[in-house]
Structure 1
Amino acid sequence: MQVDRRSFLGGAGAICAAAVASETHAATAKAKRPNIIFIMADDLGYADLSCTGSHHIRTPAIDSIGAQGVQLRQGYANSSICSPTRTALLTGCYQYRFALGLEEPLSPTAPEGVGVPLAQPTIASVLRDIGYRTKLVGKWHLGDPPKHSPLHHGYDEFFGIVEGAADYFRHHMVIGGKDVGIGLAKGDTPLERNGYLTDLFGDEAVKTIQAPHDKPFFLSLHFNAPHWPWEGREDAAVAQTLGSSYHFNGGNLAKYKEMVEAMDQNVAKILAALDEAGKADNTIIVFTSDNGGERFSETWPFIGVKGELLEGGIRVPLLVRWPGRIAAGSKSEQVMISMDFLPTLLAMAGGDVTRAGTFDGMDLSAHLTGKAAPASRTLYWRFKSNAQAALRDGDWKYLMLGGKEHLFNLAEDERERADHASDAPARVKAMRLQWDSWNAQMLSYPLGSLSEDVREHYADRY
């Protein structure tokens, strides 16, 4: 068939117009990608917010995230302790797939150079790949610079502490009265700066929000509060005389309240900065914790604390706000865990999860935005201390703790007191085998890291 010049030019013009329209649509879609602020507290218990039931702590700014979005009552951490959860958050996978995740927690005695494999997609790298500028402010605790700094795992910028804890004024771990480790850093370089760490992190987050940029931002803000040492804003003099950051002989409920409320005041600054910059309506905000509460925390109605696979050690606050997409004041019974944030936030940002990599986490974007009913989940945990193991399959939870097997129906008894292990032995056995099948796919703990009694009884399972 012959095509005359006019028809050819008209067709070519239509093709060009379609191409331009497609490019314009892509550019518009890119421009509309939401900013993302992911806020994670350190050792904050489930009931340490006023919106989750605290008896004495007031957190109006943090509460407002849930009041203006959705509050999930069944939010979980991937571990009952910090660095394994952070490994899962970073990778979107069970932490037990990586040598780093077997360090519970990562300590100076860990193998030299341990970290997430550099080729592993991360929550920062997958967002950077679709056009985000990425920044981590706060606690890292996933390996030492330069090889395993945040800058080598998808973050364009880093301002925070490298190790798992730091004095709030000296900005280092303190052992034997001396500052140790890298401490506060900017990028891969140690940094000297005066101030209370919670405020420094809040101020840096505000600067990030205020900075002009032609890209959307992903800001991961990992407060070290309310992790020990037990110091409030007026304790600079105390910090100078502190012999150890572990501070096991210090702290009280009043000091803990002060530390959590200082964090809330910094969240208030961040929310105000978003409003002032005109970015609030196009920003997703998440607030959660890295594990259950420690000694001064409230975990009601759950039992257990940090370091235990009882609900109090792994159930955490979880609030998500996205104006116009998540209905204000929503409540959700969706079960969600730390490793879900990578696929969920990537999907909310308009990315393609299947092209980004293979993850254990689940894309729950439709469930958070009310487009889908809560999905049943099957989740696994283990913890080498006391050979703990847990499996949640729907409403049922299998728990190995203290050398004994337990079985709970969380829909009927979330306090884990009505133990069905003796009256449902078939279910216990089935869930044990289910856990064993999953565990066989994970890395084994080095036997040298297990106590003698654990090695004797459970080495074949771990």
Structure 2
Amino acid sequence: MEWRTMRATRREVIAGAMSVTALGATGASSGQAARRPNFVFILADDLGAFDLSCYGREDYQTPHIDSIARRGMRFDLGYANSSSCAPTRVGLISGRYQNRLLAGSGEGGGYTRGKIGYPGDLPSLPGLFKGAGYRTGLVGKWGIGELPDYGPLKSGYDEFFGLMGGGIDYWSHDFLDPLTPGPRRPDLYEDETPVKVEGYATDLFSDRACDFIRRNADQPFMLSLHYTAPHWPWQTRDERGSPRMTDMHYEGGSPKIYRDMVLPMDHGVGRVLDTLGKHRLDRDTVVIFTSDNGGERFSKMWPLRGGKGELWEGGIRVPLIISWPGRIRGGTVSRQVAVSMDFLPTMAALAGIATDPSYPPDGVDLSPQLFGGPPLDRTLFWMTPGERLAALSYPWKYLRNGALEYLYNLDEDPTEHANFKSRNPAMLADLKARTLAWSQGMQKAMPAVPRTLVDQAEALETPKLPGK
């Protein structure tokens, strides 16, 4: 497959910008009200940067997700706001650095339980669209706070079907906390009511997404489809998986099982696209596909270093594809650096919705780049537990891992093994100073999960919990 790097003329850029303005306004040139675009935002869980065939995965094909790229734009420098689940979702829903909030300052989904979560009284991506007259729905994983204090309906979604926590058994729809072993807890909800439904979770989420589109075909809608695939436990449509000590499932999985978890998600995306087509909504709908963090275990990350939980590229680089047939030129490739918190301002701009001036996004509106504008220079920052900090001013990247510091040039060495800090001390000093200044305005990172607990889980030893 050939991909074209976006090079648009000035006339094409202006035409694209005019089309956005016209669609966001209350009337079109004919005097009739223009339909605002629908949005289908699809988020995979733990999908690595190169786990789609359009990004180079070779041992399986993802034709339906690839078709979004054929009809739109593929980003080669897509990033997640964090290297783990819940913090990225805080950045996504707020359009701001997740480190501004306690719920975004930890690791994974465990810290959001109990009294920590995304407050319902804060502005949010679904709340913004609901306030503008859109029908909003979340299907799949919420992961940023539990009832009764937090939940999707409290943050702007009109309806919800999925899990409140960070991950579930794909068949029994319950979970076992890997750090606090105890009885399994059911975690499947219809709005705020626990429900029991038979079926493989990935397929159930695809079914419900298609149903949401059918029921709302006559009004503008914003659908968040947050799959749990291909997050562990390692279970497929045909195999419920071997007995496991915890849901981290270190005694299971394989590249073949990973493939058989990704493919149902790809098939489900195909069904969602077909449903849009059947209702003649495909040209009225912006479709976005990305992942919440880098890959884990069976993902394809090479030549990137690291994976989920780390601030090397393998932990934060993710696939990112956006289509809007007839508006975004098909088959294009962008070198724009983009990150999860950009979706709120970008989607708002495409819909002609103003963001809350009292809660300004840290993300940027990338709609000019979608319509052919040149890449925007920017600097991004990350902070995770374990005294990990990073800054990216492409191609330069500063990384602090505990007491150790690195300076990478991603153009010269995308593997992040050549440390440039002695060769370019001025760049090191600049990025380090900016990173430290940024971090001073953020919440202090919560304590990291002790590495010994992770090592014990992988060795299939009963975790020796602190204080036990």
Do both share a fold (TM > 0.5)?
yes
Please identify the structure whose Cα radius of gyration is greater: 1
User: Any idea what the Cα deviations from partners look like across 1:163-215, whole Å, max 9, x if unmatched?
Assistant: 10100001111369976334110111111000000000000001011114542
Equivalent residues in 2 for 1:201-240, closer than 5 Å: 201-212=205-216, 214-236=218-240, 238=241
Counterpart-to-counterpart distance in 2, 1:30 and 1:191? 40
What stretches of structure 2 of length at least 5 have no aligned partner?
Answer: 1-24, 452-468
Q: Is the 8 A contact 1:163 1:181 kept in 2?
A: no
Equivalent residues in 2 for 1:345-364, closer than 5 Å: 345-353=347-355, 355=357, 357-364=359-366
SS at match of 1:135: strand
* Cα 1:105–1:24 shift into 2, 3 Å: closer
Counterpart-to-counterpart distance in 1, 2:348 and 2:57? 32
* Cα 1:179–1:201 shift into 2, 3 Å: farther
Aligned to 2:47: 44
Q: Does 1:401 align with 2:438?
A: no
Aligned length in residues: 425
User: Any idea what the Cα deviations from partners look like across 1:70-93, whole Å, max 9, x if unmatched?
Assistant: 000000000011100001001001
Q: Is the 8 A contact 1:124 1:155 kept in 2?
A: yes
- Counterpart of 1:37 in structure 2: which amino acid? V
1:311 to 305, 310, 313: 313
Aligned to 2:77: 74
Counterpart-to-counterpart distance in 2, 1:78 and 1:29? 40
User: Any idea what the Cα deviations from partners look like across 1:322-354, whole Å, max 9, x if unmatched?
Assistant: 011100111100100000000000111111236
Fraction of identical pairs, as percent: 43
1:169 to 161, 168, 171: 171
Moved more, 241-250 or 431-440: 241-250
SS at match of 2:176: strand
Question: 1:121 deviation in Å?
Answer: 0.9
2:68 to 62, 65, 80: 65
- Counterpart of 1:183 in structure 2: which amino acid? D
User: Any idea what the Cα deviations from partners look like across 1:49-104, whole Å, max 9, x if unmatched?
Assistant: 00001121210000010111000000000001110000100100101000101121
Moved more, 161-170 or 398-407: 398-407
The structure where helix makes up a greater share of residues is 1
Counterpart-to-counterpart distance in 1, 2:65 and 2:210? 16
* Cα 1:100–1:27 shift into 2, 3 Å: farther
Counterpart-to-counterpart distance in 2, 1:216 and 1:356? 26
Aligned to 1:93: 96
Question: 1:273 deviation in Å?
Answer: 0.8
* Alpha-carbon RMSD: 2.3
Counterpart-to-counterpart distance in 1, 2:257 and 2:408? 35
Question: 1:118 deviation in Å?
Answer: 2.3
Counterpart-to-counterpart distance in 2, 1:321 and 1:148? 32
Q: Is the 8 A contact 1:48 1:57 kept in 2?
A: no
Q: Is the 8 A contact 2:52 2:62 kept in 1?
A: yes
- Counterpart of 2:417 in structure 1: which amino acid? R
TM-score (norm 2): 0.86
Counterpart-to-counterpart distance in 2, 1:119 and 1:26? 38
Aligned to 1:415: 415
TM-score (norm 1): 0.87
SS at match of 1:353: coil
Aligned to 2:125: 123
* Cα 1:432–1:259 shift into 2, 3 Å: same
Q: Is the 8 A contact 1:31 1:215 kept in 2?
A: no
* Cα 1:97–1:251 shift into 2, 3 Å: same
Aligned to 1:35: 38
User: Any idea what the Cα deviations from partners look like across 1:137-174, whole Å, max 9, x if unmatched?
Assistant: 00111101232110000100000011101000011113
Question: 1:416 deviation in Å?
Answer: 1.4
